[in-house]
Amino acid sequence: MYIEAQKKQLNPEILSVAFLDEIAERLLEIKKIQEEERAFGAVEAIEKFTITSQKNRITRLKLWMSMTLINDGPNSVFVIVNTDKSFDEHEVLSGETYTIDMHRPRIADILLWCRTGETAAVRIVGVR
């Protein structure tokens, strides 16, 4: 009976190694998340361009962490950030600035348009 009980017990050294391995995996996951949250330091400005009632999608090859849209007018601009995940449009009035910060590289595209018959000149700056 003593032999059967001894077979069922796990070696504490093996348990310690397994536990340390689990801790190491979780620390690596945390390190990856921290690296994603760190800004690359690149500021990308897109030249000033005119927005009309025709929807204009701006896509990014390298994801942005944040972006700022400056509406130089004369009319309002509507914007949706990350169109595959969001349907919420924001109206940016003439003379206003719209900033969104995701704290991680998440901004893949921006959809812009004006009301029918209106136009606006905008500038966009992205940070990755």
Helix (H, G, I), strand (E, B) or coil at 115: coil
Give the Cα-Cα-Cα angle 18, 21, 24 (nearest 5 degrees). Answer: 155
Read off the pLDDT band of 41 (50, 70, 90). low
In this structure, are 31 and 55 located in the same domain?
no
Whole-angstrom distance, CA of residue 42 vs CA of residue 45: 10
Please tell me the pTM assigned to this model: 0.69
pLDDT tens readout for residues 73-85: 999 999 999 999 9
Domain with 101 in it: 43-127
Whole-angstrom distance, CA of residue 113 vs CA of residue 126: 19
In this structure, are 65 and 118 located in the same domain?
yes
* 120 against 32, higher pLDDT: 120
Alpha carbon distances (Å) from 24 to 17, 35, 38, 88: 10, 17, 21, 40
In this structure, are 55 and 112 located in the same domain?
yes
Both tokens assigned to 103: 């704290």
pLDDT tens readout for residues 112-126: 999 999 999 999 999
Q: How many domains does the chain have?
A: 2
In this structure, are 65 and 110 located in the same domain?
yes
Query: What DSSP character marks residue 37?
Result: H
Cβ–Cβ < 8 Å for 60, 108 = yes
In this structure, are 49 and 27 located in the same domain?
no
